[in-house]
Structure 1
Amino acid sequence: MTRRIALTFMALIVLLLVLAVVPLGLSMTQREHTSFRDTTEAANRTIAAAAEEYLSDHRSPADMRRLLEQAERAGDCAAVFDTAGQPVAATGCPGRTEGDEDDQAAGNWGDLAHQVLVHPGTAARERDDRLVVAEPIGDTTRPVGVSVLSRSAESMHDRIASMWWRLALIGAGALVAGVLLSVALARWVGRPLRAVDAAALRLGEGALDVRAPGGRGPQEVRRLASTFNTMAARMETLIHGHRAVVADVSHQLRTPLTALRLRLDLLAAGADDVTAAEFAGAQEEIARLSRLVDGLLAVSRAENAVPRPVPVRVDQVVDDRVVSWEPVARERRVSLTGRCGARLTAYLGAGDLEQVIDNLVANALDAVGEGASVRIEGEATRERVLLRVVDNGPGMSEAAREAAFRRFGNPEASGSGLGLAIVHRLVTANGGSVRLEDTAGGGLSVMLELPAPAPHGPSRGPRTGS
């Protein structure tokens, strides 16, 4: 964001400089050209006025020659032509010998003088980095001669170059000042936003006590930081409250259930067969109630956990869980297999994938009968990791699949009905998704889409906040 603000501000400054400095430079250049031509024409008209006294009034040529000498000392070239186009007087030109002067006047300027004599009026042309102007002498309708003055444009070009250099320096200075201002502005806006973003990232990773620094940046950013801190404080209070409830329930329910089971064991020890059978049924109900409490506690922990994702080797976890559940599957005469791509890696909270697979395998083993099979398959897609737990048991109806991820949502469940709710919470909390599909040929397939780590993503610490 800082870079975008700075680049946008710099582009705006460059645009303003181009729109302001370039037209100004072109205007000043045009003004220099106009001024140079006007001063050259004015000097030539002065020579033409003195030459008129000589050619028309037949006075002494002294004033005309004096002005020609002044023009020569100033570095100009000048010549006076009569009505026949013949040079009457001329100065020397820089870089030419004295013997070439008449040839200069007669040859190079004769055609210009002839043009003015035929079409009376001021004429001008540029030649060899010099401006040549011709002025009719006397009456503009019937001139008695032509005055021609050639002046070097080198001084004008030097002034124009100097002017452009000054404008370039002014523009560069303005650009540097604009860059510094844009960077300062971008940092003023971007730093507090980055601080809020970092605080939000840490909050999402489980650091419930994190707060964004306030009092910096624009008013809107300060208000955003204040709103974020209020939200984080309320979230911390709610999560700590839920954790306290889970701890209290764990203590308050498990203890009396354990005591009740022990009392029933003692009573069943000395009872007759009929009473002992009733006690055994009561103990089974207490065991079921204990499993239900454990399931509710597991769901509550999953809902209150804030995972901090780390790279997890899916293939290793699958192999480990298959080995752990193999004795149970063999006892129930069910085939349990696992097959994943080599070095298959997902981005999950530490320990979450083990809980997910345990719940899915337990559900599948409870659902299928003898001789059935349960397969765990994993593969990498373009941006995700696809994990499937497939069985060929009785499957689930469409209504049961729609309600399976809710607590006690599946009326067909043989257990507590909380396993899939735990799976759904753990997977979605890590940014993945889970769905249920029919297995081809009969059975149920649980499809998990898990986030894959970025190719060069930043390393992260262990999971916190569960």
Structure 2
Amino acid sequence: MPPLLLFAVFVMALVSDRLEVAARQRLGQGLDGVRARVSGLQRQAAAAVAAIVSEKLSSAAVSEEEAGKAAADLGERHGLPLLEIIDGAGRVLSSRHWPAGVGLPEGDREVTGSSGLRWETVAEDYGAAERLAVIATRPGTWAGTPVVVRGGFLLDGTMLGELSDLMGAEVALRDTARGRWVARADSPLAKAAPFDPSKGDGTTDISGTVYRWAAAPLGPSLWEVIAVPHTLLAEVTGGVRRLTLVVAGLALLAALTTALVLSGRIAGPVRALAARARGVGAGDLEHTAVEASDEVGELARAFASMTHELRTSRERLVQAERVAAWREMARRLAHELKNPIFPIQLSIETLRRALDQEGAQDAQRFQALFRESSDTILDELRSLRSIVEEFSQFARMPPPRLAPTDLGDLVERVLALYRARAAAVRIETGLAPGLPAVPADRDLLGRALGNLVANELEAMPDGGTLSVKTRAVEEGVALEVSDTGPGLTEEQPTRLFTPYYTTKKGGTGLGLAIVQGIVSDHGGRIQVESAPGAGTTFTLVLPVSIMAEATT
């Protein structure tokens, strides 16, 4: 993503986060304001009730008419719209807000777990209704009788409407136990679908308008709720987003213009340097200068110096590898030639000593010794010839002459040469039909397959099963040669294709190296799978089409 767009996204996210934080702070401050208002009313009610109780109430009996007026007079004098005097039996002796309840048992209920908040029965029109109120309670005496004085203020829609106008937000109270809202008459919260205020904050859809709300407890079942339309935040965020995108677009346009101007000056040298780098990657280490005088030119000169050092290092490495290879080849060949030469030397020396000691007196004994020694010499000469032939094959492997070749026919031709030598071995084939022809040199590939078959047969001197299969794979065609011999150790497969490494007594260690060279010249690969006691499987994977240079 371009840096300017990243910057635009960052700015939009930052502004959105700031607006979100501001909205939460506004809602939190509103909740604090409601709580402060309720606390203030509680203190005011407590002070007024304490003042009423401290007055010297009439100690003499009062008439029923005087009792009915007492709460109204005291409430008006002390500024309490709600005031009741209740006797010890719970009967209402006097009530300012519900005169009709005088003489009746008190029916008001305290909000569960909310000290000082009660649902009060108040006179309304021609009847009565329950209204939430802040109430202070204090014991006292009236006309010599113990009483309880309760006074306070309504937490009704009028008071909450005033708070809503003052804060510029919708303020309401929610009694979750009763499922009731306390709000001004036209408050949208009264129309909201039920939501759980215990979550603390959230959004709700009211008549198509999304409101962001926050809530705090005034008691276990009573919550203060404040809400603001979410559209305002969305409009501000959208405006900032549009402005940011416009600024980012202009900056991007300016950057593109500048880039086009500058690219014309540096693109040519950079393209030339890139082409030079591709050439080096392909193996061309010849130096070619890139003309430039700025930072690109400095980079080009450093690259040219590096290329020169690479070419020099490669030449030294090739020379060192060539010398090391010939030294290793000479050491291995000398070792292999020394083994048969020593028995030849011993046989000749034995014949000479026998001739010097016996002379012509015991011709029969000399003839037997001569035959034994000559057999040894012939065996070792054959070993020498085998070593020289395999070394010649390994050192002068001709390039393959590729032609479309049917692997099934090739397998049958090679196996026909070895069936006579495999009397104790059962030979099985699993040649998949319909395989495509592979580009191969029949003679070289036949020699590689013959070496593998010979190795597998030698691994089963006491008999077993030799299996040769072909199958299609993703890379081309696979040829598998398996035996049921003793298998290989975990270490042996990793060294099996190393020249002069052998697991057989008298082996030269060149057979599998020759096989790997032939397969590699055909653009394929060879792998081996084996485990002790589980036999060995060689898999040749040959492509159905290889690079043109493989045919040259």
TM-score, structure 1 length as denominator? 0.44
Q: Greater strand share, 1 or 2?
A: 2
Question: TM-score when scaled to structure 2?
Answer: 0.38
Q: Which has the higher helix share?
A: 1
The one of the two structures with greater contact order (alpha-carbon pairs below 8 A, sep at least 6) is: 1
